[in-house]
C-alpha cells in the first residue's frame, strides 16, 4: 500500500496536486478545521466533559462539508490514484482526532470517532463500486434507486455519523437519540430528485402503489440504519426505551411527510427543494403534546394531494 502510494505521488505533477487540492475544497475544510480546533482548545482548556456534544456537531459539520463538495468530476480524475485522495481526505480526520485523543479529558472515545470515518472513506462514492473492491449489500428491491444515489451524493457520511453517534450511545444515552435524528436528516437528502416519467412507470402502475412502494422502501432503510440504535436502547436503556421508540416512530413519520411533500410538487426531471422550516416544524410538533395532531392531519391531507398530483402522470 505504501509503495503504491509513493508511486502515485511520484506520478503526479506539482500543478496537478495544487489543482486537486483546490478542487477538493481544501480551504473550506481548513476553515472548518480551524473552527473545530478553536472549540477543541477552548473545551479542553475549561475541562468540559460535554466537549463530546460539540465534537459530534462538528463531526456532522465536517461530514456536511464532505457531502457538499460537488466534486464528482474531480473524483473521476482522482480515481487514477485513489489512495492519495483518501489520504488527503483522512488527513484532516486523523489530525483532528489525534489532537482529541492526546488532550481531551475523555479521550477514550476518540478512537471510535477516528476509526469509523476512516472506514467510511472506503465506501463507494461516485465511481463504480467494483473498483473499490466493495459491493453494497442490496437489502431490498433494485428499484430502490434513491438510496444508492443519495449515498453516493454524500449521504454515506451522514449515515456513518449517525452510526458513530449510535456507538457512542453505548456510553451516553443522549447520543443514541442524536444518532436517530441525524440518520433521519441524512435520509431526507435521498429524496431530492424527481424521477423521469419512464422510471415512474417502471416502478408502479398507479400513483397509490408508487407512493406505497416509496414509503415501504424508506421505512426499510430507516429501520435498517436504526436497528442498532433500537437494539442498544432495548438492551442498555430498557427503562427509558420508550423515548428511543417514540423518537424512532416520530422521525419515521416526519420522513413520511417529507416524501409526500416531494410528490405533492412532483414534476418529472426536476429537483425537489424541501421546505426545511416546515419539516423542522413537524419535527418539533411531534414532541409538543398539543401539536401532535397537526402532523397527523397534515399527513392524511398530504397523502391525498400527493396521490392526486402523481395520478396526473399515471
Partner 1 sequence: MLELKNISFAYGEKQVLQNINISIEKGKIIGVLGKNGVGKTTLFEIIAQWKKNFNGETLLENETLLRAQVGYLEAKPTFYSMITGREHLNVFKVRFPDFDIDGWNSIFELPLDEIVDYYSTGMKKRLALMMLLSADAPVILLDEPFLGLDVEASIDLEKIINTLKERGKIILIASHTLSALQKLSDKIYHFSGGKVEQTFDKESFDELDGYMKEYFSNNHQDIVDKLL
Residues lying near partner 1 in the complex (CB under 8 A): 72-73, 76, 126-130, 141-143, 145, 148-150, 152-153, 193, 195-199, 201-203, 268-269, 313
Give least dist CB 185 to partner 1, A. 19
Nearer to partner 1, 5 or 75 (CB): 75
Contact criterion met (CB below 8 Å) for 32 and 123: no
Give least dist CB 182 to partner 1, A. 21
Nearer to partner 1, 37 or 192 (CB): 192
Beta bridge partners of 244: none
**Burial grade of 155 (CB within 10 A; 0-12, 13-18, 19 or more):** buried
Give least dist CB 126 to partner 1, A. 6
CA distances from 178 to 52, 185, 208, 249 (A): 12, 10, 33, 14
Nearer to partner 1, 148 or 305 (CB): 148
Nearer to partner 1, 98 or 141 (CB): 141
Q: What CA–CA distance (Å, rounded) separates 102 from 140?
A: 43
Q: What CA–CA distance (Å, rounded) separates 298 from 250?
A: 14
Contact criterion met (CB below 8 Å) for 51 and 106: yes
Nearer to partner 1, 239 or 269 (CB): 269
Give least dist CB 194 to partner 1, A. 9
Q: Which three cell numbers stand for residue 8?
A: 502515485
Give least dist CB 158 to partner 1, A. 15
- Look up residue 271 and give its DSSP letter: B
Amino acid at each position: 500500500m505504501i509503495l503504491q502510494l509513493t508511486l502515485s505521488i511520484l506520478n503526479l505533477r506539482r500543478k496537478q496536486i495544487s489543482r486537486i487540492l483546490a478542487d477538493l475544497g481544501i480551504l473550506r475544510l481548513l476553515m472548518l478545521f480551524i473552527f473545530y480546533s478553536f472549540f477543541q482548545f477552548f473545551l479542553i482548556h475549561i475541562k468540559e466533559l460535554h466537549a463530546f456534544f460539540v465534537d459530534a456537531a462538528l463531526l456532522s459539520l465536517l461530514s456536511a462539508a464532505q457531502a457538499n463538495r460537488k466534486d464528482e468530476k474531480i473524483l473521476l480524475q482522482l480515481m487514477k490514484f485513489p489512495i492519495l485522495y483518501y489520504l488527503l481526505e483522512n488527513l484532516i480526520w486523523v489530525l483532528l482526532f489525534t489532537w482529541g485523543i492526546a488532550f481531551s479529558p475523555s479521550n477514550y472515545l476518540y478512537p471510535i470517532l477516528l476509526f469509523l470515518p476512516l472506514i467510511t472513506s472506503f465506501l463507494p462514492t461516485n465511481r463504480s463500486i467494483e473498483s473499490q473492491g466493495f459491493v453494497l449489500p442490496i437489502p431490498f428491491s433494485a428499484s430502490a434507486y434513491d438510496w444508492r444515489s443519495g449515498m453516493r451524493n454524500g449521504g454515506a457520511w451522514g449515515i456513518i455519523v449517525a452510526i458513530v453517534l449510535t456507538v457512542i450511545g453505548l456510553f451516553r444515552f443522549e447520543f443514541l437519540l442524536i444518532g436517530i435524528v441525524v440518520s433521519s436528516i441524512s435520509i431526507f437528502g435521498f429524496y431530492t430528485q424527481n424521477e423521469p416519467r419512464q422510471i415512474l412507470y417502471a416502478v408502479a402502475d398507479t400513483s397509490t402503489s408508487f407512493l406505497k412502494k416509496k414509503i415501504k422502501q424508506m421505512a426499510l432503510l430507516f429501520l435498517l440504519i436504526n436497528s442498532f440504535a433500537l437494539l442498544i436502547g432495548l438492551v442498555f436503556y430498557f427503562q427509558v426505551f420508550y423515548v428511543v421508540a417514540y423518537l424512532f416512530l416520530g422521525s419515521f413519520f416526519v420522513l413520511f411527510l417529507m416524501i409526500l411533500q416531494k410528490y405533492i410538487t412532483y414534476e418529472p426531471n426536476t429537483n425537489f427543494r424541501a421546505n426545511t422550516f416546515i419539516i423542522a416544524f413537524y419535527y418539533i410538533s411531534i414532541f409538543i403534546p398539543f401539536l401532535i395532531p397537526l402532523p397527523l392531519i397534515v399527513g392524511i391531507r398530504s397523502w391525498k394531494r400527493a396521490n392526486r398530483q402523481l395520478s396526473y402522470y399515471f
